[in-house]
Structure formats: C-alpha cells, structure tokens
Structure 1
Amino acid sequence: MTESGWQTELAELEQRLAAARAMGGPDKLARQREQGRLNARERLAALADAGSFREIGALAGFASYDGDGAMTAFQPANFLFGRATIAGRPVVATADDFTVRGGAADASLHRKLSDAERLASEYGLPLIRMIEGTGGGGSVRTLESAGYTYIPEIPGWEHMTANLARVPVVAMGLGAVAGLGAGRMVMAHYSLLVDGMAQMFVAGPPVVAAAGEKCTKEELGGAAIHAGNGAVDDRVASEAEAFLRTRWFLSYLPSSVDELPARAPCHDPVTRAEEWLVGAVPRDPRRLYPVRPIVEAIVDRGSWFEIGREWGSGVVTGLARLDGWPVAVIASNPECLGGLWTAATARKVERMVDLADTFHLPLVQLVDNPGFLIGRRAEEEATIRWGSRALAAIYQSSVPWACVVLRKAYGMAGSGHAPADRFRWRMAWPSGDWGSLPIAGGLEAAYRAELEAADDPAAKLAEIRERLERVRSPFRTAEKYGVEAIIDPRTTRAELCQFANLAQRALKPGTKGRGLRP
C-alpha cells in the first residue's frame, strides 16, 4: 500500500526539533544547572509571558549525514531568538546557549543574530539580549578546522548601532561574557550583570594570563567592577531579579521611537504633599542630605526605578511616573562630593538625557550642583571635556524639561540645569543659591583692595558678606525673572504633575538626529 501524506517528513521534523530542544545534551545541561544558572530555553520562558515565546530558526544548526543522506547527528545553533510578549506587549527575545560550545561563534549562525536585530527594527519591537559566552570569532581551534584566517568584522553590528536610535534594547549578562558578547552587552539602553554569576571582559583570564596578568574571572570583570565604572548600568542578585528589572524598565518606554510612552493608572493623588519636605534641605549650606527620599516623595508612589546607582554618584538617575506619565529623572546627590560633577557624573547625565530624548520622556532635574570638580583629579579625568559633552546633550535634547533648584546651581555645570534656548519649566525652593561662582570662594579676591585699606579687615569682610547675602536672596532673582517661580517644597509634586500632563502636548514621535551614545 502506497504511503499517503507527509508522515516521513513530519517524523523527521519532530526528530530535528527534539535534537534542537536537547541543546548541548544532558551532561552540559546538568553542569549549567549545578552552577546555579538556567539554560537558554528556561531563561526565555522565565522572561516572557507564560507560553508566549515563539522561536524563529529552531531547525538551524550543524548536522552530520551518512552515505545515504540520513542525519546521524545534530548540533543546534547556540543563539536562540523569537517573538514573545512581556505584559502583553510584543518583544523580540534572544538568548545565548552556553551548553553548545560555551556560546562561541563557531557554533552560531550569524544571520540569526542579525535577523533578531532586523526583526526588532523593522517591526518596532523592544529587543532583549540574554548573553552568556564569547559570541565572537570562536576559539583558536576554529582556525585549524576552517583552514584559513580572516580580517575581523562583526556581522550585524550595523543593526545593533541603528537599533539604539530605534527600539528599546536591554542586555543581561547571565554568565561569563567576553569579546563580542561584551560588546553586545554595552550596545544597549539598559544593561545589567548578575552578581557572583556573571562577569564581563574584553578577553577572559586565559588570554589575559598569556599577556602576563593573572587574575580570576571576578577579579578581572566581576559585576561590582562594571556596575562601579558604568560599563553596565546595574548589577542584581539573581537571574529572577534580572528578568524583573528588565520587565520594569521596558514598562516606561514605548515599543519604538515611532510611539509615545504610555500612561499607567495612577492611584497616588496629584496633591499629595509631604510635610517633611519643608526641612529637607538644611539651612547650613555645608550640611549634606539624601536626595533619593525627595525623589520618592515627589513621583508616583512605587514608580521610582533607579538606574546606575553605583557609578557617577554625584547624580541619581532613573525613570518614574508623574500622574501616571513616564518621565526621566536626574537629581543632584549632595552626599557624594556635595553634588559636584566629576567626569563620571557628566557621562551619567549625558547617558540619561540621551535615553530620555530618544524615547520621548519628559525630563525632570532636581538641582543642587556646586559646579565641576576642581583640582588635579578633575584635570586628569578630563572633566571639562565630559562635562561639555553632557551640556551638549542637554542642549541637543528636544523633550520638555522641568527643573527644580533645591539649593546650589553654580558655574558651567550649574548651567546644565535646563536648556536655555527654549521655554523652561524652572522653579526653585526658598533654599535656592546660585551664581557664576560661590560668594565664599571669590569674596576676598574680589574685594582685596578694600580689605587691605580697612582698619579692621575682618570686620570689613563681615560687612561685605552681609551685603552680599542680601543680594543673593532667591527672591531678588525672581524679581528680575531670573527664575520663573519659587515654590513651597510641599507643592513640588503637584507642580511637576501639571508639567507632565502639559508636556504630552509637546512630545512628538519619530527618530531623533542620533541615538543613544553607548
């Protein structure tokens, strides 16, 4: 009897799919589990809404055949991707499979990686990369098996670059990440490493040892190192926390630059006024104070999502909501060098401004900025260059901007409180204190002749200081329309919620002149 239908081919399809689902085999999967790490397929299932992941290219890999053309072995490609949903919203999810050749490129098919990037770009979908392995040019053994070497190039890098200006990109380091894997990590709008489990380096310990430097993976590129230097945005305690923060981060952003961020339901009264804000800024200008509680008191309850807590500590940055609308927040941190801008602080400001501008998030800045760091360290770190880049990013931005001056705004760095070339929602607390430089720093030099001629220089200095203290009152500035409003600190939330609502009229979807700078 002649067989009808395609049962033979369907059986082969199931055989090949089963081989793909087996990944690197039982031993490699067991080793992954023993080391406390999920495998690639488990990660995809844990990240996405239950049952929503649909793989693309599941049959891709490397097969062996006998003389009759029957498949005798199959090694799946070690890069998985597909479409899924997160909180009901379509995304592109990708995962490196470390159980197949340690995530190395010689077990990958580069077109899969490029297609994942293309799918995200062309269809306007957020892209999530779960990275573990090298993902570069393979090992030295690859040269012998290939029989030739080559001039390096990176397939798909153009798509990764373009996507920074197109769709939200999140990168999670979930194991040792080296070479191109490290490059894929930092080419993202939000990146994180799992503490104690993930490390990131240009080249791993064996290669570094050959160059004469011996160190462990943690010593070379542990999560604490890169969360502290800004190579990644954050570190987390577990894979589960990484997935949670990824979902949370994406909740503030549109699916692509062609859309505006969505409003969420808000059950926090716009008029909520925290009484303690009246004394949040000390009268003594030398006393420091924490700014994070102020941020949390102003934004919608439970909406504060800090980014980059461990680096550039002169400012606190993150995402939040005001009356349900997503906003980006930059807040001076007086507890770190009094809020002075270092080179790292300036880079952090620049990065947050670019993220906000790319994805149409109104920007709120809480200012207590005594200026750029000065001295030998500042010059060695090229603070003026990085500070000027941050100011350029501020002036290149096109999103609505609200500024609340909590205390100081001095010098070039202080001028970065808001772009001055368009309408500014600028308000100050009664504690506002600003100028080209602090009075205390320039008083004796400015009045040297008068002090030298005085019978009692100390008394004369006190008299001059008292005169200038009257001039520096923020109300004198308001008289000249040098600041648009002085407000009761308790009303800050209400003022900013009004800004967030009106800002929606000024937001325009579309691609900006450039994407975020990695």
Structure 2
Amino acid sequence: MVAPPALSAPRTVRHTPLSRSVRETAQEPPAMPVDPNRESWKPGMPWEHAIEDMEYIRALGREMGGSERIERQHAGGRYTIRERIEKMVDPGSFVEAGPMVGAAEYDHDGNLVGFTPGAYVMGLAELDGRSVAIGGDDFTISGGSPHNVRKHPRDFMQPLAMQYGIPYVQLVEGVGHSSKADEAEGHMGLPAGDMWWRAVEMLRTVPVAAGIMGSVAGAPAAFALMSHFTVMVKGQSQIFPSGPPVVRRAIGEDLDKEALGGAKMHVHESGQVDNEAESEEDAFDQIKRFLSYLPDTTADVAPRVETGDPPDRRPEELLNIIPPNRKRGYDMRTLVSHVVDNGEFFEMRRHYAGAIITAFARIDGYSVGVLASDPMKLAGAMDGDVADKYTHFVDLCDTFNLPLLIFLDMPGFMLGSHAERKATMRRGVRALIASAEADVPKIEFNVRKSYGVAADAPNSVGIPNGLNLRFGWPAGEWGGIPIEGGVAAAYRREIEAATDPDAHREAIEERLLRLRS
C-alpha cells in the first residue's frame, strides 16, 4: 500500500458529504492512502484516464477499512463482508453494485488525496445456481455504520430485489446511530418511519434471509429481524436495540454483550432469532437451505426438485414408533423423517417453544411446511410461545404458497396460573385465526391426541376449498376435552359419592376411552 501523501498546501474537501473533522469526530477510519504523484481526471483529458480513475477508486474500496482493521476482524474470528460474500455465493458469480460508493477527498488541483469506502457491500450473485441480491455491513469501516454516504446503499438493493423478483440476503454486523454523528452534524433528526416501508414491502414480495454475523444494534438489528429467516453464530453474534453501555447507563443492569443478546438469549429463550449456527459457514449453509424450499416471489410456487424418493413407498418403521401405552412419549422427528422425501427436513426455531416442530421438507419433490407436535415437550400442549411459533410459521407458509403437512398430538392448551399470566388462550386464538386465513392446502394426521380449542387451530380450514384432508392414525384419539380432566369436572359429585372414588373414576375413564377414536 502506498504511503499517505505529505502535502504542504492545505487541503480542500469536495464531493464528499463529510469533512475531515466530521469524519474524525464520527470515529471513521482514516481515508485510504493514495498515490501522491497520481493526477486525477479533469475536463479535457481523455476518457481512458477517467476510466482509470474509476478502476483506481474501486481498488481503494476493496481495501475496506485498511489492513489493521481487517486484521482486527480476523483476530476476533470473523470474516470481512467481502470474504463472507465470496464464501457464500457460487464462485465467480458476485457482481458488485456501487463499488465506488464512499467519501472522496481532493486537493486544490482536483487530485484525489484520500478515499473512505462506504460501509456496505452489495450486489447480485447466485446461490446454488439461483439469482439473489446480497448485501452486508463492512464492520471495518465505522463499525458498519454508513454515515459517510448520503443515502444507505440498502435503499438501492431492496427495490432491485423486488423488481427483479429474486431473494434478498443480508449479512449483518453493524451498529446503529451514533451520538458523535449527531454532534458532528450539529443537530438531531426526528425519528420517522419512511426508512422501513421498503423492508415491509419486501416481506410481501420476495424471500428475505438475514445472517447475524457479529454484534448488531439499533436500525441494523431491526432490519435483520424484518426477515423471513434469521440465523446467528453461536458465541460470535449478538443482537439488541442498544448494547451494554447504553443498558448500564439507562437502567443500571450490568451485562456483557453475550448475556444481553447472544444465541442463548435470543435463540433459546426469547425466540427472537430463528436458528443458531456453529460457524459462519454453517450460517451460510442454513440460509441456502432455507431459500431452497421457497419460490423466488410470493406470486410463484416453489420449484419441484427430483429427490428420487417414490411417493408410494410404505415405510414399515412407522408401525412401531408410537407406543401402545398412550401415556408414553415417542420421537416425532423420527416419525416425520419416515414420511418426507429421503428423511430430510430443515427445522426452524428448534430451540424455542419445543412442543411444536416447524420445518420445511419435500413430498414427491414438492416443498411443504411441516407442523408437528412434540409429545416429549409439555406433552405437546399449546402454551403462548407455542401458539406464537405456530402462527408465525403458518403465515410464512401461506405467504410463499407452501402446503402444510400437520402431525397432531395435542392434548389442548397448557393449563395453570403461569399459562393464564402469559395470555395463552388469546395467543392460541391468534393461531386459530392464522390457520383459518391461510389459503394453502392442509393435510393433517391425527397421530394421537387431538383435544379442545387448541387442537382446532390446525383444523381451522377457513373457507372450504376441497384441498384439505384429515387422516386418523391408528393411535389417534380426539374429543372436546381430554378424558381425565373431563371426567373430573363432569362426574365430580358422582365420584365423591362413590364408596371407592378412585376406582369409580377409573371405571368412568375406561368407559369413555372406548369412545375416543
């Protein structure tokens, strides 16, 4: 890299939204050093010289925040944004948009003396042969905050993805607004919602997937969560409205960034992020798998994939998965794997609200959404978190025209004071509404228990359209209320008056068990 020029004459700054003093106040990296002997193009010079200038600025942009900041990124175990894109997309397919975006400095003679690249890299590429729009924050420049440009490059890529009808992938690692930037500007802006409408429109139009690759706060965090699928790297990624210093100052809670917004918090506890990844490469693979099940737009259907798995096969293993004892659990994922093509499915939000399994799979090569109860968690009951997870997935499948394959073993709503405090039934009714509003075909298997209003959610087919089917598994049982609870409520006086209340209750339950299927 050429050493910075030593100029005796004072510099003037042109064609840049921020002066040098502003950049320093905002903690930007120094402008990339340029060749002090190089003369920039000026009117009257050959156009070849102008093209050379553009190539030169592109080369400066590829240097990102400089070798020191790139080394710091690598020392933290993280790739740069350019490395991420290169490793994720098909080899040689990335075509960068806006490679000259940034802040340029010129001397009195109009020669380029410094250039700070924009903090967002974007373009078009292919994932497994499929066109996508892709962009991400360059954390080596101002922590990924693009305040050295007048307009965020994201505002260009989002409409482009919608106009081309291709998925949009964002690799996020950046901070939000800076108080130092406010001081440098000399005023604070009034928060307004005009920056969000494109992101909302995208959710109605094309698949949007986000990889949370490092610490993300403020607006970048919100944009990441305005996606159909989110994944974060375990031990490396965090996401929150504001980081630990702001939290400490605002409410006195002293947490490090991992405890505040890491994968344990947001994948396992809050459910704010869908999946966790073991590495950045794993995150890239999960995004590609997610997109492989979806169409390019909400107006299309997902392409059929030749899987080589005949749809008329009869897996005998299904006979032995569900135990004869109705009080014993079993592995629902094993059951699902014997039904879907080649036993393969891509699960979303596995670590959150575990009583319901939400996944994508294929049947005869066609993409489907899978909803399956997990009797090993809450006995498959629907609590508030399960209802929210159910609603989110049904809405997602309806948005992208994916049929729903449902494996139901649900004894009803979760009961008790904790469930009441969490507004379980209200959230469950929202799940019922989502199912009724969904226009996609629903194929349901009543694998074992199907009781009460909670079990009505998968059965809520909305306007009859002839596309919905329900099958009873040999172990299936159903009713308006689980037998044990129903007997205790309806036969209370009779049981209390019996000589042997326990024996009398068991006799009634045995009598009703014959009616359950």
Larger CA deviation: 328-337 vs 154-163: 154-163
* 1:215 alignment partner, one of 255, 260, 271: 255
> 2:236 & 2:504 partners in 1: Cα distance?
63
Specify the code of the residue in structure 1 equivalent to 2:424: T
Specify the code of the residue in structure 2 equivalent to 1:288: G
Instruction: Give the equivalent residue in structure 2 for 1:141.
Output: 180
Describe the superposition over 1:110-154 as per-residue Cα deviations: whole angstroms up to 9, x where unpaired: 3411111111112211000000011x32x1111221111111235
Describe the superposition over 1:188-207 as per-residue Cα deviations: whole angstroms up to 9, x where unpaired: 00001001111111101111
Describe the superposition over 1:262-317 as per-residue Cα deviations: whole angstroms up to 9, x where unpaired: 00012122233332321212222221111111111110115310111100111011
* 2:221 alignment partner, one of 172, 182, 201: 182
Instruction: Give the equivalent residue in structure 1 for 2:404.
Output: 363
> Contact 2:336/2:343 (CA < 8 Å) preserved in 1?
no
The residue matched to 1:68 in structure 2 has which SS? coil
Instruction: Give the equivalent residue in structure 2 for 1:332.
Output: 373
The residue matched to 1:93 in structure 2 has which SS? strand
> 1:371 & 1:293 partners in 2: Cα distance?
23
Structure 1 residues 370 and 107: CA distance shift in structure 2, 3 A: farther
Structure 1 position 105, deviation (Å) = 3.8
> 2:163 & 2:204 partners in 1: Cα distance?
12
The residue matched to 2:342 in structure 1 has which SS? coil
The residue matched to 2:147 in structure 1 has which SS? helix
Structure 1 position 257, deviation (Å) = 1.2
* 1:203 alignment partner, one of 242, 250, 253: 242
Instruction: Give the equivalent residue in structure 2 for 1:491.
Output: none
> Contact 2:212/2:224 (CA < 8 Å) preserved in 1?
yes
Describe the superposition over 1:6-27 as per-residue Cα deviations: whole angstroms up to 9, x where unpaired: 2221221121111111111111
> Contact 1:65/1:73 (CA < 8 Å) preserved in 2?
yes
Structure 1 residues 4 and 466: CA distance shift in structure 2, 3 A: closer
The residue matched to 1:372 in structure 2 has which SS? coil
* 2:204 alignment partner, one of 165, 186, 197: 165
TM-score for both structures, normalised by structure 2: 0.88
Percent identity among equivalent residues? 39
Matched, 1:275 2:316: yes
* 2:138 alignment partner, one of 73, 93, 97: 97
* 1:18 alignment partner, one of 45, 59, 65: 59
Instruction: Give the equivalent residue in structure 1 for 2:266.
Output: 226
Larger CA deviation: 353-362 vs 26-35: 26-35
> Contact 1:257/1:358 (CA < 8 Å) preserved in 2?
yes
Matched, 1:150 2:194: no
> 1:291 & 1:12 partners in 2: Cα distance?
62
> Contact 1:110/1:155 (CA < 8 Å) preserved in 2?
no
- The two structures, once aligned, show a CA RMSD in angstroms of 1.7
> 2:450 & 2:404 partners in 1: Cα distance?
18
Long gaps (5+) in structure 2 = 1-43
Structure 1 position 155, deviation (Å) = 5.3
Instruction: Give the equivalent residue in structure 2 for 1:192.
Output: 231
Instruction: Give the equivalent residue in structure 2 for 1:241.
Output: 282
Long gaps (5+) in structure 1 = 475-518
Instruction: Give the equivalent residue in structure 2 for 1:125.
Output: 166
Larger CA deviation: 269-278 vs 460-469: 460-469
Instruction: Give the equivalent residue in structure 1 for 2:386.
Output: 345
Larger CA deviation: 298-307 vs 444-453: 444-453
The residue matched to 1:465 in structure 2 has which SS? helix
> Contact 1:288/1:335 (CA < 8 Å) preserved in 2?
yes
TM-score for both structures, normalised by structure 1: 0.87
> Contact 1:193/1:234 (CA < 8 Å) preserved in 2?
yes
> 1:154 & 1:15 partners in 2: Cα distance?
37
Q: How many residue pairs end up in the alignment?
A: 469
> Contact 2:118/2:146 (CA < 8 Å) preserved in 1?
no
Give the structure, 1 or 2, with the largest relative contact order (CA under 8 Å, sep 6 or more).
Answer: 1
> Contact 1:54/1:82 (CA < 8 Å) preserved in 2?
yes
Specify the code of the residue in structure 1 equivalent to 2:172: I
Specify the code of the residue in structure 2 equivalent to 1:213: E
Structure 1 residues 67 and 286: CA distance shift in structure 2, 3 A: same
The residue matched to 1:133 in structure 2 has which SS? coil
Structure 1 position 178, deviation (Å) = 0.6
Structure 1 residues 347 and 457: CA distance shift in structure 2, 3 A: closer
> 1:48 & 1:441 partners in 2: Cα distance?
55
